[in-house]
Amino acid sequence: MEIRIGITNTGRELNFETHDSADDVRASVTTALESGAAHILFSDNKGNSYIVPTAGLAYVELGTEESRRVGFVA
């Protein structure tokens, strides 16, 4: 699943793919925001970790969980 995260006062967005489901990501973001946590931890398919400050979080866009198709569709 593709995730896009916008951070305030930053011209670029954080974009990566993860094996986590949309519900898992949505729950972790919601829990962090409601509990007043300072950071949210994400990990991608390649094993990289991202620590995003909740105070600077502008948006979180969750993509579809379908895998990309290869080739042409007739």
Q: Which CATH number fits domain 2-62: 2.70.50, 1.10.10, 1.20.144, 2.30.30?
A: 2.30.30
Q: Which two tokens stand for residue 55?
A: 């105070």
What integer pLDDT is reported at residue 64 of this predicted model? 75
Instruction: Tell me how far apart the alpha carbons of residues 59 and 49 are, in angstroms, rounded to a whole number.
Output: 18
Confidence of residue 8 (pLDDT cuts 50, 70, 90): very high
pLDDT in tens, 41-70: 999 999 999 999 999 899 999 987 666 667
pTM for the predicted model, two decimal places: 0.77
Q: Where are the domains of the chain?
A: 2-62
Predicted pLDDT at 11:
86
pLDDT digits (tens, 9 = 90+) for 9-39: 988 999 999 988 889 999 999 999 999 999 9
Q: How many residues does the chain have?
A: 74
And the tokens for 71? 């080739």
